[in-house]
Amino acid sequence: MKGRLTTLLLGAALLFATTGCTPGEEQTVIKLGHGMDVTHPVHRAMVFMAERVAEKSNGQMRVDIYPSEQLGTERQCLELLQIGSLDMTKVSSSVMESFSPLYKVFGLPYVFENDAHRFDVLEGEIGKRILLSSEPAWLRGITYYDAGSRSFYTADRPIRTPEDLEGLKIRTQESPVAIAMVNQLGGAATPISFGELYTALQQGVVDGAENNPPSFHTTRHYELCDYYSLDRHTSPPDVLLGSTHLWERLTEQERQWLQEAADESAQYQKKLWAEATEEAMKTVKEAGVEIIEPDIDAFVEAVQPLYEQYRQEQPAVYDVFQEIRNMNRYAEATDGAESTADDN
């Protein structure tokens, strides 16, 4: 109740402070708030999007960006979108699992064969369908931003096989899919706020975590974890969201300008993310972190029961998983398992 009241007060203050334009001016202003700092590839992509919106609309539209939680936390920004006090924000697709079950498919391990396959899915019909699936919650997906692939990093024990995770407390996101995956691999999933993770690693509350290379680097978790095992188990993208209240008030032309600019920014962000990943890997290697390339097939085999669980308990998510899998060679790789798992 207290959190909801805080969000409402934030919304009222935001509405009071940023509504409208100067008298006689006809300009559509879009407010975008998020929690990342201004050096992050996603923020830089959003700036690019704002520039393209202004160019496409010849100044009729303006996107004002508020980074670094200026307008509230990730959760507060989502709630502000739902009540129409904020227009746009960015979250991980893992967060969207609470608003649309279809987003859970991105948290399933090894759903994508490689980056090319991943982008084919995100930029194709399946990806667009998932973006629109959260509209009943007043959240419309606009585009995806690349967040790379997540891998395990640990303080005292290298992860070369799934068995090496046995008994280790691994920090995960507040995602039922991520928790189930780590537990299935033999670890003890331990959801902890990302902002508290450095201290948790330092104090031994957890033995490790899992994330993409830029996050491992920028958080300086590599100072505490000597091993980075590139098992690349999941690749949940970031999602640029718009409030359905925003979408309803935009004209068809304005929607087109915004969508085109967002899609262009996603392509630009891919390049920024690739550069950030390369820099991150270089830095952590120079810092003495051991980079491990484990046998991926062993991890794929270990998570097979998780697919069966989703087939039985969440058939809608499983159906989308099958659609994605049928686009890649993992359909062949798991055919043998299907005979024992009764169609994974």
- pLDDT tens digits along 200-247: 999 999 999 999 999 999 999 999 999 999 999 999 999 999 999 999
Ordered by start, the domain boundaries in the chain are: 2-10+26-99+134-146+236-280, 150-235+291-341
Greatest Cα pair distance in the chain: 70
End-to-end CA distance of the chain: 42
For residue 34, pLDDT over 90 is answered with yes
Q: Which residue's structure tokens are 């950030």?
A: 276
pLDDT for 105? 97
Residue 26 has what pLDDT?
85
The Cα–Cα gap between 200 and 171 comes to 9
Give the Å distances, CA to CA, from 227 to 18, 152, 156, 215. 47, 8, 8, 15
Q: With pLDDT > 70 as the criterion, what percentage of the chain qualifies? A: 88
Task: Of 72-81, 248-257, 270-279, 334-343, give the lowest mean pLDDT range.
Answer: 334-343
Given a contact cutoff of 8 angstroms between Cβ atoms, the answer to whether 265 and 49 are in contact is: yes
**Range in 58-62, 148-152, 211-215, 337-341 the model is least confident about:** 337-341
pLDDT tens-digit readout, 95-131: 999 999 999 999 999 999 999 999 999 999 999 999 9
Give dist(CA 230, CA 210) in Å, integer.
10
Pick from 97-101, 161-165, 192-196, 330-334: least confident: 330-334
Q: How far is CA 317 from CA 104, 308, 314, in A?
A: 7, 12, 6
| Structure letter (DSSP) for residue 159 | -
Nearest to 209 by CA among 146, 162, 151, 290: 151
Q: What is the pLDDT at residue 193?
A: 87
Alpha carbon of residue 28 to chain centroid: 28
Q: Tell me the average pLDDT across 33-56.
A: 96
* Residue 321 pLDDT level (bands cut at 50, 70, 90): very high
Task: Specify whether the CB–CB gap between 105 and 317 falls below 8 A.
Answer: yes
Write down the residue that tokens 């009071």 correspond to. Answer: 16
CATH code that applies to domain 2-10+26-99+134-146+236-280: 3.40.190.170
Degrees to nearest 5, angle at CA 93 with 13 and 30? 35
CA 333 to mean position of chain CA atoms: 26
Return the CATH number of 150-235+291-341, one of 3.40.190.170, 2.60.40.10, 1.10.390.10, 3.40.50.10800.
3.40.190.170
Give the DSSP letter string of 41-61.
Answer: HHHHHHHHHHHHHHHHTTTSE
Cα 69 from Cα 77, distance rounded (Å)? 9
- pLDDT at position 219: 94
Q: Residue 158 CA to chain centroid, in angstroms?
A: 26
pLDDT for position 148: 97
Q: Is residue 20 scored above 50 in pLDDT?
A: no
| Cα–Cα distance, 244 to 255 (Å, whole number) | 12
pLDDT digits (tens, 9 = 90+) for 241-280: 999 999 999 999 999 999 999 999 999 999 999 999 999 9
* Residue 320: pLDDT over 60: yes
Q: Report the C-alpha gap between 206 and 268 in whole angstroms.
A: 36
Sheet containing 28-33: give its strands across. 61-66, 28-33, 88-92, 238-243, 139-145
Measuring CA to CA, which residue among 138, 175, 193, 145 is closest to residue 11?
A: 138
Question: Quick one: pLDDT at residue 195?
Answer: 85
Examine domains 2-10+26-99+134-146+236-280 and 150-235+291-341 and report if their fold is the same. yes
Predicted confidence (pLDDT) per residue in 159-175, tens digit: 999 999 999 999 998 88
Per-residue pLDDT at 3 exceeds 90: no
CA 48 – CA 38 distance, rounded (Å): 12
The mean predicted confidence, pLDDT, of the chain is 90
